[in-house]
Amino acid sequence: MDIESFLLTVVDVVDETADARSISFAVPEGAEEKFVYRPGQFLTLAVPSDQTVIAARCYSLSSSPHDGGPLTVTVKRTDGGYASNWVCDHLTVGETIRVLPPSGIFTPASLDADFLLFAGGSGVTPIMSITRTALAEGKGKVVVFYANRDERSVIFAKELTRLAAAYPDRLQVIHWLESVQGLPTPEQIKAFASQYLSYDAFVCGPAPYMKMVTTALRELDFPRDRRHQEKFVSLGGNPFGDLAQLQEAEQEIALAEADEDGSAAEVFAPGGPTAPVKVEVELDGQDYTFDDWDPKTKLLDFLESKGVQAPYSCREGECSACAIRLLEGEVHMLHNDVLDDEDLADGIRLGCQSLPATDTVKVTYS
C-alpha cells in the first residue's frame, strides 16, 4: 500500500519579488475531491534530492478555494535552502511534481469572524489565502500586520493594495518595514493588537517573530481558541515512500527505543493499557466509535485500517497536519517536533504518533 500522492502539472509561474515565486498546479482529472482545501492549508511537495532521493517540503497555499482557480503555493528562496531554491529554479510551466493532498490546521473555524492576521516575510502565504477567502465568503473585518525587511521584500504588495481598495470598509493592511521602522518590539505588537481583542488572531512567519507575537497575544489574554500559530517544519523523512515499509521501519525503531537491552519487546504507552481500547473520533462532522484499538498501533494507522480518511502529511511528528484534540482520556506520543507546552496543555496531540494511554479515548480533528 502506497501513501496517496499525485503528479501535478505546473500551469503558471509568477515572480512576486526578486526571490519569491507563486507556482500554480492543475489537479489531475478524477482527483478533484482529494484537493479540496481550506484557506491556510499547505501542500507537501516531493523535491528531488541527490542525497536522499526525495526531500519532502511543505509549502502553504496562497490561493483561495473560493474562486475556483488553480492550486497555488508561494515559495521564497532561502540562503542554503536546497528545496526552496530547486522549486524556484526548476518548476516551470509544463513541469510535473509529486504532491500530497492539502493538509494543516492553520485554518479559520468560521469565515464570518473578524481576523487579526500577523505575517512575517514569506509567512504571508497562508495569511493571503485566509484574507482572500474571508473577504470573498465571510462578513467580518480583516486586519493584516505584515512585517518585512524592506519595500522590495513585500510579497503580494499589489494584490494587498487591490484588495484594500476593493474592500475599504473591511480590510486594513499595515506594512512594517525594518528598513524604515526597525524590528517591531513586543511592546509595539501589544499596543497594536490591543485594539483588536475580540478578533481571531493568526500568526505565521520566522520562528522569533511568531514567538514574539504569540507571547504578546497571550499577555493580552487572547484566549487559546482565538490564537493560532502555524505549525510545520522541514520534514526529515519521506512520506512519499511505500507505506508498509515505512510502518515496518517505524515499528522497528520504536521497538529498539522501548527495549534498551535489545531483547524483543512490545511498545505500549507507559503505564497504559495492554488490551484493546475504545476510541471515539470526531472528523469532518462524522462520529466514529471503535472498541478494538490495539495499544501498540498509532491512532492514524488504526483509523486508516478502519477505512477512516484521517488527515496527515509527514507521519513522523514533524508537522501538525494530523493534529487532534483530546476530549477524554489520554494518549502517549512516540515523537513530537512541533507541538509546544501550551499546545500540549490545551489537549493537542499528533495522531500519527499517538498510542492509547487510557482504556477509553475520545478525540476530535476539528
Instruction: Please check whether residues 120 and 90 belong to one and the same domain.
Output: no
Q: Tens of pLDDT along 264-318?
A: 345 677 778 989 999 999 998 899 999 999 999 999 999 999 999 888 777 778 7
CATH code, domain carrying 84: 2.40.30.10
Instruction: Please check whether residues 154 and 125 belong to one and the same domain.
Output: yes
Instruction: Please check whether residues 135 and 181 belong to one and the same domain.
Output: yes
- Global pTM reads 0.78
Instruction: Please check whether residues 84 and 135 belong to one and the same domain.
Output: no
Q: Quick one: what percent of the chain has pLDDT higher than 70? A: 89
Question: Do the domain assignments include residue 238?
Answer: no
Cell numbers 493580552 correspond to 220
Question: Do the domain assignments include residue 108?
Answer: no
Instruction: Please check whether residues 247 and 355 belong to one and the same domain.
Output: yes
240-244 long-range contacts, CB within 8 A, separation 24+: 240/3, 240/5, 240/46, 240/54, 240/56, 240/98, 240/100, 241/3, 241/54, 242/1, 242/2, 242/3, 243/1, 243/2, 243/3, 244/1
Give ∠ CA 212-214-220 in degrees, rounded to 5. 105
Question: Do the domain assignments include residue 321?
Answer: yes
CATH code, domain carrying 257: 3.10.20.30
Instruction: Please check whether residues 42 and 86 belong to one and the same domain.
Output: yes
Q: Tens of pLDDT along 27-44?
A: 999 999 999 999 999 998
Instruction: Please check whether residues 86 and 191 belong to one and the same domain.
Output: no
Give ∠ CA 210-104-293 in degrees, rounded to 5. 125
Q: Rounded CA gap, 295 and 356, in Å?
A: 6
Question: Do the domain assignments include residue 237?
Answer: no
Distance from chain centroid for Cα 364: 17
Q: Rounded CA gap, 73 and 71, in Å?
A: 7
Query: DSSP for 184-237?
Result: PPHHHHHHHHGGGTTSEEEEESSHHHHHHHHHHHHHTT--GGGEEE--B---SS
Q: Tens of pLDDT along 161-199?
A: 999 999 999 999 999 999 999 999 999 999 999 999 999
Instruction: Please check whether residues 78 and 42 belong to one and the same domain.
Output: yes
Q: Which residues contact 81 (CB under 8 A, 6 or more apart)?
A: none
Instruction: Please check whether residues 82 and 135 belong to one and the same domain.
Output: no
- Residue 168 structural domain: 115-229
Count of structural domains, the chain: 3
CATH code, domain carrying 173: 3.40.50.80
Instruction: Please check whether residues 119 and 94 belong to one and the same domain.
Output: no
